[in-house]
Every structure is written in C-alpha cells, then in structure tokens.
A and B are shown apart, each in its own frame.
Chain A
Amino acid sequence: MTALPATDPHTDTPSAAAQPKQTGAHAVVRTLEALGVERVFGYPGGAIMPVYDALTGSSLKHILVRHEQAAAFAADAQARLTGKAGVCMATSGPGATNLLTGIANAYMDSVPMVILTGQVPSGLMGTDAFQEVDVFGMSMPVVKHSIIIRDAERIPELIAEAFDIAESGRPGPVLIDMPKDILQAEAYPTLPPVSRPTAGPSRADQADVDAATALLSQSKRPVLYIGGGVALGGAVDAVRAFMDRTGIPAVATLKGLGCPHPDAPDYLGMLGMHGGRAANVAVDECDLLICCGARFDDRATGRLDSFAQGARIIHMDLDSAEIGKLRAADVAMAGDIADALDRMDPGYLDITEWREECRDRKARHEFRYDAPGNGVYAPAMLKQLSEAAGDDFVAACDVGQHQMWVAQHCRFARPEAHLTSAGLGAMGYGLPAGIGAAMERPDSKVVTITGDGSIMMNIQELATARRYGVPIRILLLDNASLGLVRQWQEYFFDQNFSEIDLYDNPDFAEVAHAFGIEAFTVHSREEVPGAIERLLNSRGPILAHVLIDPRENVWPLVPPGASNADMMED
C-alpha cells in the first residue's frame, strides 16, 4: 500500500506527517466519506466505539435508531430508492445478531447494502469473549460476500471492494467485521479512488436472441412474466417499450410491480397466490412465457408442475444461476435484460385474439370496492390513498394482509415506489423502511402501511421518526389480529384460530402521542377521505390508526399446494 501523499488528493486534507494520530476507525469514516456515503444508520456499543469516536467532525450523518434491525431495514429502503448501497452499523454480539434479519431481507430481495460490525479484539476472537459472536459465519448464508478486516492499512481498499461487490451485477449485502484492535490501531492508509469502476452487465448471445425471437414469432398466446430483476437491471423502460412494440400481455410478481406502466392496456396485474384472475389465467393458458428477471418463486407459481404447463419458456436474467433452477428454459438468456429485449424484434405478431381475450378477462374481473356496511374497507382506502398521493407516492409496506392489499389496490408508476419485504416477508420492515425512504425522499409522499401485528415488531422507531422530524405518514390498519395467519387458519386449519388474537393491543394513537407524534383514529368509512387528506397534507411524522373488520380477508387466494388456476375468490 502506498503511503499517503503530503496532501490526500481525494479529501484535500493533510497527510500522515501533518496529522494527529489516525486510527483504523478514522480510516473507516474517511473511506465512507470518500466513497460518497452521506448517511449511516446504526447503534453504538462496546466493540464499535472507536468508529463512533471517529464520527465526531465527520460529514457522515449518523441516524441513531432504537434497534439494530431497524438500522438494516432503513438502509435497505434507502438502497432500494437510490440503487446505491445503504450503510448500517452495529457493535459485536447482540448488535450484530440484531442486524441479521435485515441482512437476510436485503439478500432475499437483492438489495445493495454494506454492513459494518464491530468485533471483539483479534486476540479474543474464538474465545467466547463478552459480546463475541461469529457474525462472519452466522451471516454467510444471507450475504453476497463478507470480510473480516485483519490489517488496518487495508481498510479503505476492503471497504471500497465491499461497495463494488454490493452494487455490481446482482446486488446484495456485504458484511465487514472489524475487530476492535484493528479499529484502534494506528493507520495511515491510502483512500480509494472517489469514482469506483463498475463492470457493465454481460450481453445475451445473439443465437439465443434469435432463438427467442423465433419462438415469439410462432406464438399465438405469449405472456411476459416480469420480476424484480427488471428494476434491478435498469430494464423498466425497455420492458415498457417491448410491451408497446409487441402488445404482449404482461403479469408482474410482487417485486415486479411498477415495472409495467399501471395503465398499460395489456398489463394484467400481479400473478400468484394473491394475484388477479386475469393474470393467473393468462399464465395458465399461454403457449409462451417470457420470464424477465423473475425466479419462479413458489408464491408466484403456486404448484410448480402446473404453472404455465403448456408453455415454452424464454428465461432472461442477469444471474445465470436463476435460469433453470426451478423450471427448465427452452431458451436461456443470461445477461442484460434491457439489451436482450431491445434486440428482440419479432415483427408483426398475430395475437389480436389473445390480447382481446386477456383484456376482456381483466375487465370482467376488476376488483370491486362496494363492500357492504359502514366500516372502513381497507382495499378501497388504499386505492384512494395511492390515487390521492399520485406519482409522488412511495409505499413502505409491512407484512401481512395489508401488504397484499397494497400490492393489489395501489397504483405504482415506478417499481422503486413500492418498498416491500418480498422474499423474506419480514414483519417489522415497514416503519424503519419508511423512515429510510422519507429521509432519502423528503419531498415524496412516503407512507408506511402497516398492521397492528407488524408495527409492534419495531414500534420503538417512532422515537427515531420524532427525533429527526422524519416526513413519514403511517397508515396503521388495525384488525386486532394476525390477519393473514387467521385467514389461513379459517380456510386451511379448520377454523382453529390459534394465537392470532391481538384483542389487547394498546391504543396506537395514544402510543404515538406518547412518542410526541401527531396521531388520530379512524372508525368509519365516512371518515376516510378526511383522514387521507390529513395524512398526505401533513409534513409528518403522523400516524393514522384505522380500525378495520377482523373478518376481512385477502382475495383472491390460491390455496397452498394448488395450481394458480384453482384460486379461491370471495
């Protein structure tokens, strides 16, 4: 490693010779600054204290959350909005283990993240020291890569490498474990270049593009099956252009929502367990399924051997390991999805009859919002909310019935407007994700949509929202139960309602008040328009506590193990 020059070219600060003592911890902070990081979510503790000491005077803005899991979720949401790695940090032992759910969440949804953990001193590692856990080992199944820093002089190089790995190719979380003695060691390393080189994605072979085009030309009933890889690969505009050019009906996964334009006439909505009839039947009846950045996840396919069983498969993905993993592909196209779609030109497609059939089915199975009674009908409220918020709407969902209602009834003009824990399904994501999103996009209408079960998993983050004056709106749909579990028990466990009753919830508006946050309760349908207006017109933080009928279910529903064509409807 080259020694620092008299003046560091990246920071214009005096080098080692002119500086007071610098440590590994200073190198961590200065490297993050040099890499353009502006915000770090974290929580201090013993082993990482040198980094917190070095934060003094730094341009980094540290956001003190109230639980490490929230730091990871907030960094995750920021990353989903920006495409740049979110950064979180915590101390060793319990601090590190509390991060794990958030790391797994980022891994399952391919979110770029850099996680910094303090570790006990090198000499104590492997001795069961106080607050020692092997987070390097524990996190291996849920990280893209991980590093233990053993030499303070290599800190800038390794942190820069972590960002490069996290953001390049198929993104993912990278963990950096930092023993305390390394953080305290005297170090004057060279900082990394300010702009990091990133390799472009590979291109699909022309022979595969030609084969796919030939299959498409022969197809009478093609369907585009769009997943989260489209947004991750920067292929949203290419997908939309391809849909316009070919008129092929399209369906989206939970993570694919917002990739097709929501008003596109041939967009049929979400497929899968809680997908619409138009989407699921189209896939069931298609003769060619063009999979773009999706991975045949069980929640999307239902019973796999009956999923699009009469169809040939074209599978495009940046990650070649996803192709053929669960369903063999007739044409496999590993590489840049946008590039591959742009190169596919099938000419005139004789699919008019198929398009009309799909459009007609879509029109016949539109969601209805005329639920009887005067109680708040959550799907209608969510639809009104997203329409009122318009293209500035960013939803940070929690997990449960409300998450599926958001996916079904809200309108997303872009995929990054829909922040949801898709792969992991982690309750507790919504509030910290909303905080991360609202800090990153303070001028957007960021709304955390949560339930009474989910918000209790990270309700302490109301304090974070209050401390930093985060412009977040929280819509809490309270059915006094774990609704999605209750729904499954109702239909698949002989109505044996086991441990789902949350009758003794606190008054959430009062809880919010106790945190110093504006809050109000909505009891009836007639209050909904005013509540939405109040929520959206507030700068936030603000919480609307909405009481809904515990018996309300999410429809349609594909029973577990069933084919998507065998969906249950209300």
Chain B
Amino acid sequence: MMVWLALALAYAGLTALALGMKRHHQSLLGAKPSDARLRAFRVTGWALIALMLLCCLRLWPLGLALSLAFGLATLAGLPLIFLLPYRPRLAARLALALPLAAGVGVWVV
C-alpha cells in the first residue's frame, strides 16, 4: 500500500510543480497567478516530493530507495504530461484525490 502512497505523492508533487509554472497554472486553474502563488505551489511540490522520498525510505534500504524514487517519479510524471493538454482539470483533481485515497488505504490496511 505504501508504494501506492509514494506514487500518489509523486504525482501530486509533480502536479504542484507544474502549477508553480505560469503556463501550466493558467491552463489548469484558468487564472493568472501571482508570483507568490507560483512560489507557494513550488514549495508545496517539493514538500510532497520529500514526503514521497520518506515513503520510499520506509519501504526500501537507502540506495534502492533513492533509485526507485526516480522510477516512481517517472511513472507518475508520464500520465501527468499527457493529461495536461487533454484533461487539465482532471489532472489537478487527481492530484488531490490520489494521495487522499492512498493515505486512507495505508491507514486502513
């Protein structure tokens, strides 16, 4: 279950990083962002990535955890890239829903 949480966090983190960029922010949320907002999204994004790393460290020994964290980020990033042009709203909603669902899953199981 923890793997899924890590994957969901990677997805959410990358989405937040995308929201921290002007071009994607506009297409995802439809509003012109202020610089402070962009920065807030970037900080959130990195924080989520850090959380994902923590999950990986709980799952695997250090070397493996770092290597697989890259793999998970890749796996989470590819759907994001191809959702952004077609279903931007869905991409943003998933970033909220997936970590919540995975978090509940970890808590329940």
Do they bind each other? Answer: no
Binding site for B on A (CB under 8 A): none
